[in-house]
Chain A
Amino acid sequence: MWTHRSYCLAGLLSCILLSGPLSAQSAAFPDAANAGTWPNAYADIRAGQLLESATALLESAQANAAQQALLEALQVIRVNHGLRDHRQIQPLALLIESLFQQGRWDSADDQIAYFQWVNNANQALDFPAYLRGSQTLADLLLEASADPANPQAVRYLVAARNLNWRTITAIEQRLGRHDQILAPWLYRVVLNHYQQSALIRRRGLTSFSFHSDADALVNGFRLSNNETLEMSFGIGEELLERIEALFPGQSLQQALVRLQQADWQQIFGRRTEARQLYEQAYAMLQQSGLDQQRLEAFFNQPALIPATQLLGELPDYGPALEFHAWSPLYPGLEQQTALRGPNPAMHSQAELTLDLHSDGSLDNLRFENIEPESAAVKEEMRRQAQLLTLRPPLPGAAQIRKDLRLRLSLSGFYHLQSSPLQLADSANQEEQP
Chain B
Amino acid sequence: MTVLMKAAMLWLVVMTLGACASISNEPLRQLPSDAEVEQYNASVPPDEHIVCRMERSVRSNIPRRVCRYVKDIAETSAFHREQLRRVLQ
A residues whose Cβ falls under 8 Å from a Cβ of B? 161-163, 165-166, 168-169, 189, 217-219, 221, 223, 227, 231, 234-235, 238-239, 242
Enumerate chain A residues within 8 angstroms of B49, measured Cβ to Cβ.
221
Q: Which are the 5 A-B pairs with shortest beta-carbon distances? A: A165-B42, A162-B42, A235-B35, A165-B39, A238-B35
Whether a CB of chain A sits under 8 angstroms from the CB of B18 is no
Whether a CB of chain A sits under 8 angstroms from the CB of B70 is yes
A169 touching B35 in the complex, CB below 8 Å, given contacts A221-B70, A223-B53, A227-B53: no
Enumerate chain B residues within 8 angstroms of A235, measured Cβ to Cβ.
34-35, 38
> Once bound together, how far apart are the Cα atoms of A221 and B72, in whole Å?
13
Main secondary structure of the interface of B (DSSP, over half): helix
Q: Are B46 and A166 in contact (CB under 8 A)?
A: no
Q: Are B35 and A221 in contact (CB under 8 A)?
A: no
Closest-by-CB residue of A relative to B46 is A219
> Once bound together, how far apart are the Cα atoms of A231 and B49, in whole Å?
16
Q: Are B34 and A165 in contact (CB under 8 A)?
A: no
Whether a CB of chain A sits under 8 angstroms from the CB of B33 is yes
CB interface residues, B 2-31, toward A, < 8 Å:
none
Q: Are B46 and A217 in contact (CB under 8 A)?
A: yes
Chain B: interface residue count, which band?
A: 10 to 19
> Once bound together, how far apart are the Cα atoms of A189 and B53, in whole Å?
20
Q: Are B35 and A166 in contact (CB under 8 A)?
A: no
Enumerate chain B residues within 8 angstroms of A169, measured Cβ to Cβ.
39, 42-43
Q: Tell me the minimal C-beta distance from A103 to chain B in angstroms.
A: 26
B residues whose Cβ falls under 8 Å from a Cβ of A? 33-35, 38-39, 41-43, 46, 49, 51, 53, 70, 74
Enumerate chain A residues within 8 angstroms of B46, measured Cβ to Cβ.
217-219
Q: Are A238 and B39 in contact (CB under 8 A)?
A: no
**Apart from A235-B35, A239-B35, what 15 extra A-B contacts exist at CB < 8 Å?**
A162-B41, A166-B42, A168-B39, A169-B42, A189-B35, A217-B46, A217-B70, A217-B74, A221-B70, A223-B53, A231-B34, A235-B34, A235-B38, A238-B34, A242-B35
Closest-by-CB residue of B relative to A163 is B42
> Once bound together, how far apart are the Cα atoms of A218 and B51, in whole Å?
15
> Once bound together, how far apart are the Cα atoms of A166 and B42, in whole Å?
6
Residue among B33, B39, B41, B74 facing the most chain A CB atoms (10 A cut-off): B39
Enumerate chain A residues within 8 angstroms of B53, measured Cβ to Cβ.
223, 227
Enumerate chain A residues within 8 angstroms of B51, measured Cβ to Cβ.
221
Q: Are B43 and A165 in contact (CB under 8 A)?
A: yes
Enumerate chain A residues within 8 angstroms of B43, measured Cβ to Cβ.
165-166, 169
